[in-house]
Amino acid sequence: MTTVTVTDSHRAGLHAASGVGTAPPPQPESLTPRPASWPGELAIALAAGSLVVATGLWMAGGGLPALGTAPLTSLGRLTGLLAADLLLIQVLLMARIPWVERSFGQDLLGRRHRTAGFTSFWLMITHILLIILGDATADGGGALEEAWQLITTAPGMLLAAAGTAALVAVVMLSIRAARRRLRYESWHLIHLYAYLGVALALPHQLWNGSELTSSPVARIYWCSLYLLTLGAVLVYRLGLPAWRTLYHRLRVAAVVIEAPGVVSVYLTGHNLHRLPARAGQFFNWRFLDGPGWSRAHPYSLSAAPRPDWLRITIKDVDGSGRLARLCPGTRVLIEGPYGALTSAHRQRPQVLLAAAGIGITPLRALLDELTAAPGQITLLYRVSSRAQAVFARELEAIAADGGVRLCYLEGSRATGNPAWLPAHLASVGGAEVLRRLVPDVGQHDVYLCGPVPWTEALSASLASAGVPAPQLHTEHFTW
């Protein structure tokens, strides 16, 4: 095992000593006005269109006339179709479709996934209740008796009941209070039961749904939608990560101590120039070093990807301290790249980067890729003390070259508002501190990375200082 302790002289020769190449990063694109994100707009239009189509199929199947004769059953059919559509949208949002990921970023997709999931869940519950009450009203029986009869006699309903139970379990464990009590790995494993719930719900829709049984067009549409969703999951969640892992054959080249409790892992592989990664993005990593290898963790690239090596930087939290003991040659499984915290979304020549703690990693990578005239890039780095600053020597060397204005925000944490400042500056106010440090802050693109409360507090101060929302770029790594 080789653990490298960095000194000034050793850092200069790090790449040669570790066997890592010294090729420069890819040259960034020149800054030009960028068009609207049409892939993102297309994704939104397709999602909205699918809900319109579902409603249209309900209407074509006699949904509107049935409101006069069997309103509960008719509304139950509509809520069931909308619930199924949103359930598939929810799965597609987390299918890791590359053009969708690049347009929105994983944290925004995660929030939309959560919204679609809870909306689908309550529509599903409403669908179940309305169908049971509608049938009970038509037959003159009790609701419980009708529910039992549906489950035991209608084709596919027993499977649908099992699928509903799986989805209820996933939703209950997705509530924040429940998630906080679970390890990420446990929650992720339980969350996979959502796929089982979707699969078990399909037969009852095909066999019992009047829209599907009476209309070949509707049947083709819904079957195609289910197959498209399944294909996206198989290709992008399973197939593409497996292909990239096998093709690029990533291995650990060296482990470098960056700061107390923080290490960088350098990785080499095959044809890394074909890996479509950019500065600011992250991968889910699995290191085949023994027990715990199956747990994937999201770590950002901390340097722009090179044709022959990659670098990630990790703080010792949640069991990641074992990565400091990785042996050179350890094989690595990857999923990604993911994330939208890249220069592709840059709109302005002037850029403000703001990081707290280990959040410096993707912003350090962005410094390799961003082009600007001297003084057009400012980096605000929030640390408790200069000794805890990660990449301090690298950042100060970049600043000494005149390319970046570097400002450390040192000191103990402030309480109250604004919580992103050190305590000795809290009385000045967040917006005023920003105006003093970056007088024309409203003319900057702003990239943020740090703990969620910190980025939310800083985002509020940036808005007060006149930074428009489209110029603010951030990504949270929460689950």
Per-residue pLDDT at 251: 96
Choose one of 299, 315, 338: the last residue of a domain. Answer: 338
Residues 368, 301, 93, 448, CA torsion sign: negative
Same domain, 207 and 273: no
- Mean pLDDT on 243-272: 93
Per-residue pLDDT at 3: 34
Residue 13: CB partners within 8 Å, gap ≥ 6? none
479 belongs to a structural domain? no
Beta partners for residue 314, in sequence order: 263
> How many residues are recorded in the chain?
479
353 belongs to a structural domain? yes
Same domain, 288 and 360: no
237 belongs to a structural domain? yes
Same domain, 106 and 255: no
Choose one of 276, 310, 338: the last residue of a domain. Answer: 338
Q: Is 270 helix (H, G, I), strand (E, B) or coil?
A: coil
312 belongs to a structural domain? yes
8 belongs to a structural domain? no
* Cα-based distances in Å from 309 to 20, 34, 237, 249, 471: 6, 30, 24, 12, 31
Residue 433: CB partners within 8 Å, gap ≥ 6? 421, 425, 461
- The pLDDT of residue 65 is above 90: no
Write out the residue range of the structural domain in which residue 443 sits. Answer: 343-474
Same domain, 220 and 292: no
30 belongs to a structural domain? no
- Mean pLDDT on 388-396: 90
Q: What average pLDDT does the structure give for the chain?
A: 81
Same domain, 278 and 315: yes
Per-residue pLDDT at 177: 60
- The pLDDT of residue 270 is above 90: yes
Per-residue pLDDT at 188: 63
Total number of domains in the chain: 3
Same domain, 387 and 410: yes
Per-residue pLDDT at 213: 61
Per-residue pLDDT at 26: 46
Q: Quick one: DSSP state of residue 94?
A: T
Report strand pairing: 472-474 vs 262-268. unpaired
- The pLDDT of residue 337 is above 90: yes
Distance of alpha carbon 208 from alpha carbon 204, whole angstroms: 6
Per-residue pLDDT at 184: 60
- Among residues 452, 50, 395, 20, the alpha carbon closest in space to that of 221 is found at 50
CB count in 10 Å sphere of residue 320:
17
Residue 112: CB partners within 8 Å, gap ≥ 6? 93, 104
**Cβ contact 276:319 at 8 Å:** no
Angle between helix axes 71-93 and 106-139 (nearest 10 degrees) is 160
CB count in 10 Å sphere of residue 68:
8
Band (365; pLDDT cuts 50, 70, 90): very high
CB count in 10 Å sphere of residue 96:
22
Same domain, 217 and 328: no
Residue 472 sits at φ, ψ, to 5 deg, of: -105, 125
Q: What is the pTM for the complete model shown? A: 0.79
Choose one of 200, 225, 243: the last residue of a domain. Answer: 243
Same domain, 253 and 225: no
Band (10; pLDDT cuts 50, 70, 90): very low
19 belongs to a structural domain? no
**What ranges in 61-182 are assigned the alpha helix state H?**
63-69, 71-93, 98-104, 106-139, 143-153, 157-174, 176-179
Band (1; pLDDT cuts 50, 70, 90): very low
**What ranges in 154-285 are assigned the alpha helix state H?**
157-174, 176-179, 184-191, 193-208, 210-214, 216-232, 240-248
**b/e per residue 120-130 (b: at least 16 CB within 10 A):** bbebbbbbbeb
> Which H or E run contains 472?
strand 472-474
The more confident residue out of 7 and 24 is 24
Same domain, 353 and 298: no
- Give the model confidence (pLDDT) of 103-113 as tens digits: 787 778 888 88
CATH of the domain at 415: 3.40.50.80
- The pLDDT of residue 35 is above 80: no
Same domain, 145 and 202: yes
Tokens read off for 28:
């960034």
278 belongs to a structural domain? yes
Same domain, 170 and 294: no
- The pLDDT of residue 37 is above 70: no
Band (298; pLDDT cuts 50, 70, 90): confident
Band (283; pLDDT cuts 50, 70, 90): very high
Band (366; pLDDT cuts 50, 70, 90): very high
Tokens read off for 153:
């006699």
- Mean pLDDT on 159-166: 76
Same domain, 45 and 172: yes
Per-residue pLDDT at 269: 95
Distance of alpha carbon 402 from alpha carbon 277, whole angstroms: 27
- Give the model confidence (pLDDT) of 170-219 as tens digits: 777 766 665 666 666 666 666 666 777 777 777 676 666 666 666 788 88
Beta partners for residue 352, in sequence order: 378, 446
